[in-house]
Amino acid sequence: MKIVKSLIAAALLSAFAMPFAMPFAAPVSAHINLLSPEPLMGGKAKFFRALKKPPFGAPGVDVAAAPATTAPAGGTIDIEVEVYVFHPGEIVVSWTRDFSGADVAPVYAIPGADAPIPHVNVLYSGPVPARGSEQVFRASVPLPDVEGEIILVVRQVMHDKMDETDDGGISLTRVYYHQAAKLDLVR
Ligand SMILES: [Cu+2]
């Protein structure tokens, strides 16, 4: 009887605790978080809004003054990205020497849903981890064979966030989340 009572008490307690615990359980708007190499800005920064800011997801960061991770020119770097919120799509990794990222700016319109989404300077692209999996994206990314500082751009591309426009085209304004890391490529 005592056990039954404590089971009921436990059930009641968890039933009451649930609604209060739930809102704090998981960040609702985080999508990706570059764990390695060290990003210009964390994926959870600015109340999870930094990610939305193209091209690097690092609003306010002085890119020229930011520290760089040393990596081998023409070699590879292992990247690790937490994916908090699942959307079908892929992680696309590209690079630039332009600290403003003008040449890797995202494309915001395509002619139709089947048209490819263009990316420049792509080093690697792969599907996001499946829903309910470990949700950590890992890839060995080939690096350009150049010396000096570059920005590695890591972008989540969400295929379920494409919007049809009046002219029958597709708007990509809600498709991307951005992060980036500064690398110093050496031989
Ligand atoms: Cu989402």
179 CA to centre of ligand 1 in angstroms: 15
Residue pair 101/182 in contact (Cβ under 8 Å)? The answer is no
Strands 163-164 and 109-110: unpaired
Domain 28-186 in this protein, CATH class: mainly beta
Residues bordering ligand 1, an ion, CB closer than 5 Å: 85
Find the 108 Cα to ligand 1 centroid distance in Å.
17
pLDDT tens for 106-162 read: 999 999 999 999 999 999 999 988 777 678 899 999 999 999 999 999 999 999 999
Global pTM reads 0.82
Q: What's the gap in Å between 7 CA and the centre of ligand 1? A: 38
Taking CA atoms, 27 is separated from 24, 88, 172, in Å, by 7, 19, 24
Sheet of strand 32-36, all strands in order from the earlier edge strand to the far edge: 32-36, 76-83, 136-142
Give 158 Cα–ligand 1 centroid separation in angstroms. 8
